[in-house]
Amino acid sequence: MKHLLLFILFFSPLFSQAQILTDPGAQQTVVKALDHIYNYEFAEAAPYIKQLQTKYPQSPIIPVLRALTIQWQHLPISDSRTATNQYVAQVEQAIRGVEQLIDKNDQDPEAVFLGLTAHGYMAMKHNLDNESMKAVSESRKAYAYMKDGFKLMDKNVEFYFSTGLYNYYVERYPIDHPVVKPFMVFFKDGDIALGLKQMDVSAKRAIFTRPEANFYLAHIYVKHESNFPKAVEYMDYLMDHFPKNPIFQMRYVEALLLAGRYADGQVALKKLKTMQHKMLPAAISTFEGMLAERVAKDDSAAAAAYNAALKLPVNVAYTKEYHGLAYAGLARIAARANNRALAKSYYKKVLDTSEYKFVIREAKAFK
């Protein structure tokens, strides 16, 4: 149950509107700041955040924007204690601001939205630092705000994302983790299909949550739904609007290759290789292995690339699955070489590593 709450809260929406909803100028300023943050233009985002601070100095949206900047600029922040401390300071400031809003009006959409965000962000930090009890405490606080958000969805399109995530994962999570099923009586029932539709509304109509909605829908359609063309559709939006984001570019290459769009994938991979980020090397080697295996039909080159990927570090939240894809590739190569024992050993590693449903099915199907 703890992990379900954490999973949903990590992907929760970022911003509320309250004051901004009635201030079109400030709303556009937030959008410009977000556009620069997601496009890895952090210096360009700073002046817009300052403009907001001048107009709304007490708003929790200011530290939330700064926390988001730190998160993307130092991704993954768990690798840097300095970045983590800066992040925590901003989130704590946001929480204090939310509490002041709640004291005035506990149904204030801004307080609900930012309370969900700030406590969810803090839960993520504690979880990454293996501080389980603190993570659970923050998750419970955030979940209270999430439930309030269910009632605000029809009044504010931004709440479609958090509501859709809940409806999807409250049903999906116990399917993947049957051990939690007895605890699900404590949660409001969800609906997988409805959750996808609600997140799609956010991906197409929202202002602040639109990038996150597209990113996580693409992830869901790869990891859970095995609908790779659909994942490409959502990544297309991100590529059009945030072409400098290396994480988005990485996921775009992955979706294209899994969808069988190899020519487009090669072009996208070429661009990815020009980008700088410490989480890219394992992904790039895996993608090279996929192209060598599927396009060039060169098992020797593919095996070399997959093995190279396995020697490179991965991040649990962002790149762990590339080791799973590499093990699956090596298993297929071993099977084609009639080395079934080796193939089985690689598929066992797939099952120990991967959470992608299509890869797990492939591994379990091998006899």
Q: Which of 89-103, 134-148, 339-353 has the lowest mean pLDDT?
A: 134-148
pLDDT tens digits, residue range 60-86? 999 999 999 999 999 999 899 999 999
Q: Tell me phi and psi for residue 213, to 5 degrees.
A: -65, -45
Q: What are the boundaries of each domain within the chain? A: 2-213, 228-365
CATH superfamily, domain at 228-365: Tetratricopeptide repeat domain (1.25.40.10)
| C-alpha span between 317 and 212 (Å, rounded) | 15
What's the confidence (pLDDT) of residue 13? 44
> The whole model's pTM is what?
0.91
Task: Check whether 2 has a pLDDT greater than 80.
Answer: no
HSE-up of residue 224 (Cα within 13 Å, Cβ side): 16
- In terms of phi and psi (left: phi > 0; alpha: psi -120 to 50; beta: otherwise), the region of 338 is left
Q: What is the mean pLDDT of residues 20-48?
A: 91
pLDDT tier at 133 (50, 70, 90 boundaries)? confident
Contact criterion met (CB below 8 Å) for 169 and 146: no
pLDDT tens digits, residue range 204-239? 999 888 999 999 999 999 999 999 999 999 999 999
Give the SS3 label for residue 163.
helix
What is the average pLDDT score of the chain? Answer: 90
pLDDT tier at 5 (50, 70, 90 boundaries)? low
